[in-house]
Amino acid sequence: MKTIQVAVIVGSLRKDSFNRKLANAIVKLAPASVHFQFVEIGDLPLYNQDDDEHQAASVLRMKAEIEKSEGVLFVTPEYNRSIPGVLKNALDHGSRPFGKNSWGKKPAAIIGISPSPVGTALAQQHLRGVLATLDMLTLGQPEMFLQIKDGFFDDSGNIGEASKKFILRWIDTMIQWIELNSK
Amino acid sequence: MKTIQVAVIVGSLRKDSFNRKLANAIVKLAPASVHFQFVEIGDLPLYNQDDDEHQAASVLRMKAEIEKSEGVLFVTPEYNRSIPGVLKNALDHGSRPFGKNSWGKKPAAIIGISPSPVGTALAQQHLRGVLATLDMLTLGQPEMFLQIKDGFFDDSGNIGEASKKFILRWIDTMIQWIELNSK
Amino acid sequence: MKTIQVAVIVGSLRKDSFNRKLANAIVKLAPASVHFQFVEIGDLPLYNQDDDEHQAASVLRMKAEIEKSEGVLFVTPEYNRSIPGVLKNALDHGSRPFGKNSWGKKPAAIIGISPSPVGTALAQQHLRGVLATLDMLTLGQPEMFLQIKDGFFDDSGNIGEASKKFILRWIDTMIQWIELNSK
Amino acid sequence: MKTIQVAVIVGSLRKDSFNRKLANAIVKLAPASVHFQFVEIGDLPLYNQDDDEHQAASVLRMKAEIEKSEGVLFVTPEYNRSIPGVLKNALDHGSRPFGKNSWGKKPAAIIGISPSPVGTALAQQHLRGVLATLDMLTLGQPEMFLQIKDGFFDDSGNIGEASKKFILRWIDTMIQWIELNSK
């Protein structure tokens, strides 16, 4: 059975982040043929173009991890009705130096959870625009604007019964999207 | 003559940033009654909600500088068709902890320069949405989508003759906006 | 007691539109000092710049109604994660011919209701960007992303008890905003 | 040689629209294997959900033309920093009634020309968000933010020499995108 490599980027650095929890639960739920690699973005410096010719070790590591993946899964919280600065900072680093955009042509998928689905929806809308600029191929439908609710996660941090089938179906769609669009 | 305090935030950390140069030139061009304070954002950590109850010294400093200002001038480059992660990170810090949004009710103005005016226009469009969420009162018109061109700055880093009147008029509009909307 | 004139624009043409119902309920709930005028947009032609010098009677009527108002309340549904084409068409008409923008400098407020609050939130985000371009002064906070739920309206079409105080508070904020910013 | 069918939608109704001229020039420049069909949107009524079960003849015609195409080329002007209401109205019609979205899974490409490239860029950014919602697969790079300049068109309305190669390359990219993603 063919395996695929998917890089996972979580937009929040908070230890008990719901979106990190969501990413972990997706990894557990997905078929074994998908190898997920969590890409750390919390150790990146603030982007400064003056460093383009001597990028920090953490930047080079992140870029290498993206480049060897066949697709990228963004699990994104929302801050102030847009993408967390932390996530945008990682996207900016990965796009540089000029002509060495690590994101280019990679298929991508976006999912997120917030106290109201409004939060993640607004963040995802901005993220889509940025990913198009980065020349990523982003899965369009179904949109996944998840809401934090009792029972969404069970006590072991898995997706609860009520949402499991729904999330599994989306994971399948994501896998097909990445397989179809990765080179 | 009444003076007003305007905080200036430059979205780029690059030493020779065109937007920093633009900010400096605006400060020199503006009437003496406006006191500008450049607010450093390059020393902020990446935002992590776990630190909300013990914000870093640089975060507390930035929040104090915003709070004592009567208005905020954003001079913003564009990265990947949106706000630099560096700037969004600063906005995220300033909005926290919950209930202590330093930006709230402050009048704001946005200006930016990029190799094509498209860049700054797209960044400014995202920034406007975020500032509305932060409950800032952002000057609507005229939009200032400046383009880097020979002669825009003179050899001393001032606004060149061709654009000086145009920029001065905008500075006046900005000052009136801040006076009208600050409390 | 000073009265204010507020133009109301509903983005949906559907007879039983929830947003029209919401607009009607707001009118009934607001203090008597606010005179609301519903501005019809369903009789406008599709915008064609060739007609700028001889605008249709319905366009002239709409422009006059906006111009004599002191502020504009947009009650907006969402179509395909953005503003209804019907509403954007009305905004386009009102902004023309060049130099005769009927919306300019008017204070504005936005509210909307949809099956999920995500819908209206995404539409409102696009609408805010357009209104800034039109040089309107749009109320920032609180955002009103309402969700259609049993009991939101009572049997007479009024706002139900559970939401009445919340909506009334927003109406007050809107009135203050319009009074403060209208000339 | 395999032919492909591409539906062309022009966002402006103006007779001498630069974007219509651009669409015509692209059609003339493209290889003969691409069959373009201009889809009229100026005869559509304003969208009203009450008509979903008995759509107007012009709506049914437009939906059929989209459905039989293998991809859609949007040539879009900008009104008030967003999509023309006329174009959004067409998108709304094509997405209805619920469950009968004519746009779904179609590959799409966007191009536009405006007096400043800022205009079309901001319109295209909004359009991308809407097309993602409609489940279209939109070509990401290169972005085509064209500027109206002397010589862009020659006297016969063809793309002038200075831009011909550049536009031809984009047409090739667009054709490959549509071939790859159409079913």
Q: What is the pLDDT of residues C24-35, one digit of tens each?
A: 999 999 999 999
Q: Residue D116: is it exposed, middle or buried by C-beta count within 10 angstroms (0-12/13-18/19+)? A: middle
C-alpha triplet C69, C72, C74: angle, nearest 5°: 150
Output the 3-class SS for B9-37.
EECCCCCCCHHHHHHHHHHHHCCCCEEEE
> Looking at chain B, which residue has its C-alpha nearest residue A103?
B80
Residue type, B13: L
For residue A108, the model assigns a pLDDT of 98
- Say which of B81, B86, B129 has its CB closest to residue A46: B86
Give CA separation, D92 vs A141, A152, C126, in Å.
17, 33, 15
Rounded (10°) angle between helices D117-133 and B117-133: 60
Determine the distance from the C-alpha atom of residue A141 to the mean position of all C-alpha atoms in its chain, rounded to a whole number.
16
Residues in B whose CB is inside 8 Å of some CB of D read: 81, 116-118, 121-122, 125, 145
Residues in chain B: 183
Decide if D91 and C80 are in contact by the 8 Å CB cutoff.
yes
The residues facing C75 across adjacent strands are C10, C111
User: Closest Cα of chain B to D125: distance in Å?
Assistant: 8
Mean pLDDT over the full length of chain B = 95
How many contacts does A have with D, using Cβ atoms within 8 A? 35
Q: What are phi and psi of B45, to 5 degrees?
A: -75, 170
Q: Environment class of residue D105 by beta-carbon count within 10 Å: exposed (0-12), middle (13-18) or buried (19+)?
A: middle
Residues of chain A in contact with residue D124, where contact means CB-CB under 8 angstroms, are none
Asked if B19 and B77 touch (Cβ cutoff 8 Å), the reply is yes
How large is the average pLDDT for residues A129-143?
A: 93
Q: Across the interface, do A80 and B89 touch by the CB < 8 Å criterion?
A: no
Query: Cα(C152)–Cα(C160) distance, rounded to whole angstroms?
Result: 5
- pLDDT-derived band at C2, boundaries 50, 70, 90: confident
Q: Looking at the partner chain, which of D128, D129, D140 has a beta carbon nearest the beta carbon of A135?
A: D140
**Predicted local distance difference test score (pLDDT) of residue B165:** 96
Query: Whole-model pTM?
Result: 0.93
Residue that the structure tokens 């949107």 belong to:
D41
Beta strands in chain D (DSSP E): 4-10, 34-38, 71-75, 107-114, 137-138, 145-147
Closest CA to D110 of D177, D162, D163: D177
Q: What is the DSSP letter of D59?
A: H
- A-chain CB neighbours of D181 within 8 Å are none
Share of chain B above pLDDT 90, in %: 96
For residue B114, give the chain D residue with the closest CA.
Answer: D118
Name the residue of chain A whose CA is nearest to B129's CA.
A81
pLDDT of A183 > 80? The answer is no
Q: Assess whether pLDDT exceeds 80 at residue A99.
A: yes
Residue C85 confidence (pLDDT)? 98
**Cβ(D136)–Cβ(D106) under 8 Å?**
yes
For residue D135, give the nearest of A132, A137, A140 by CB distance.
A140
Mapping DSSP onto H, E and C, the string for chain A reads CCCEEEEEEECCCCCCCHHHHHHHHHHHHCCCCEEEEECCCCCCCCCCHHHHHHCCHHHHHHHHHHHHCCEEEEECCCECCECCHHHHHHHHHHCCCCCCCCCCCCEEEEEEEECCHHHHHHHHHHHHHHHHHCCCEECCCCCCEEECCCCCECCCCCECHHHHHHHHHHHHHHHHHHHHHCC
Query: A64-83: per-residue pLDDT in tens?
Result: 999 999 999 999 999 999 99
Is the Cβ pair B136, C135 closer than 8 Å?
A: no
Separation CA C167–CA A24 (nearest Å) = 39
Asked if A11 and A77 count as a contact pair (C-beta separation under 8 A), the reply is yes
Residue with tokens 């102030």, as numbered in its chain:
A80
Check: CB of residue B10 under 8 Å from CB of residue B182.
no
Please indicate whether, in this complex, the C-beta atoms of B13 and A50 are within 8 angstroms of each other.
yes
- What is the three-state SS of chain C? CCCEEEEEEECCCCCCCHHHHHHHHHHHHCCCCEEEEECCCCCCCCCCHHHHHHCCHHHHHHHHHHHHCCEEEEECCCECCECCHHHHHHHHHHCCCCCCCCCCCCEEEEEEEECCHHHHHHHHHHHHHHHHHCCCEECCCCCCEEECCCCCECCCCCECHHHHHHHHHHHHHHHHHHHHHCC
- Class of residue D19 by CB neighbours under 10 A (exposed 0-12, middle 13-18, buried 19+): buried
Residue B2 — very low, low, confident or very high, per pLDDT cuts 50/70/90? confident
Give the Cβ contact number of residue A166 at 10 Å: 12
Asked if the Cβ–Cβ distance from D132 to A128 is below 8 Å, we say yes
Q: How confident is the model at residue A1, as a pLDDT?
A: 62
Residue C138, strand partner residues: C108
Residues of chain B positioned with their CB less than 8 A from the CB of C99: none
Amino acid found at B162: A
Chain B nearest-CA residue for D82: B125
**Closest CB from B48, B85, B129 relative to A88:** B85
Handedness of CA D78, D82, D86, D90 (dihedral sign): positive
- Encode A13-26 in three state secondary structure: CCCCCHHHHHHHHH
Binary contact (A84, B95; C-beta < 8 A)? no
CA distance D7 to chain C (A): 20
Q: A28: which 2 tokens?
A: 């557990």
What tokens appear for B114 in the block?
């990029």
Which pLDDT value is given to residue B1? 62
Instruction: Taking residues A104-114, report their average pLDDT.
Output: 97
Of the listed ranges B25-34, B65-74, C48-57, D113-122, the one predicted with least confidence:
D113-122
CA C147 to chain B, closest CA, distance in angstroms equals 19
CB contact under 8 A, B79 and A87: no
| DSSP state for residue B50 in the 8-state scheme | G
CA-nearest of A21, A27, A26, A100 to A59 is A100
Closest C-alpha among B46, B71, B68, B49 to residue B58: B46
Name the residue among D87, D100, D96, D99 with its Cα closest to residue D44. D87
Of C115, C160, C169, nearest to C141 by C-alpha is C169
Of C118, C125, C145, the CB nearest to A145: C118
What is the token pair recorded at B161?
A: 């003759």
- Shortest distance between the Cα of D131 and any Cα of chain A, in A, equals 9
Q: Can you tell me the mean pLDDT for A35-45? A: 98
Asked if C86 contacts D47 with a C-beta cutoff of 8 angstroms, the reply is yes
Contact C61, D58 (CB under 8 A): no
Q: Which of helix, strand or coil describes residue B158?
A: coil
Q: What is the pLDDT of residue C119?
A: 92
Write out chain D's pLDDT in tens, 183 residues: 689 999 999 999 999 999 999 999 999 999 999 999 999 999 999 999 999 999 999 999 999 999 999 999 999 999 999 999 999 999 999 999 999 999 999 999 999 999 999 999 999 999 999 999 999 999 988 999 999 999 999 999 999 999 999 999 999 999 999 999 997
- CATH class of domain segment(s) B4-181: alpha beta
Q: Which chains touch A (3 or more CB pairs under 8 A)?
A: B, C, D
List of chain C residues whose C-beta atoms are within 8 Å of the C-beta of residue D80: 91-92, 95, 130, 133-134
Of A128, A134, A140, the CB nearest to D137: A140
Interface confidence, given as ipTM, is 0.95
Name which of A36, A52, A123 is nearest A84 in CA terms: A123
| Minimum-distance CB partner of C117 among A81, A117, A125 | A117
Interface of D with C (CB under 8 A): 12-15, 17, 42, 44, 46-50, 79-92, 95, 122, 126, 129-130, 132-134
For residues D22 and D27, what is the distance between their CA atoms, to the nearest angstrom? Answer: 9
Span C167-183, pLDDT tens digits: 999 999 999 999 999 97
Would you call B40 helix, strand, or coil by DSSP? coil
pLDDT attached to residue B146:
96
For residues D93 and D55, give the distance between their C-alpha atoms in angstroms, rounded to a whole number.
9
Give the pLDDT band of residue C1 (cuts 50, 70, 90).
low
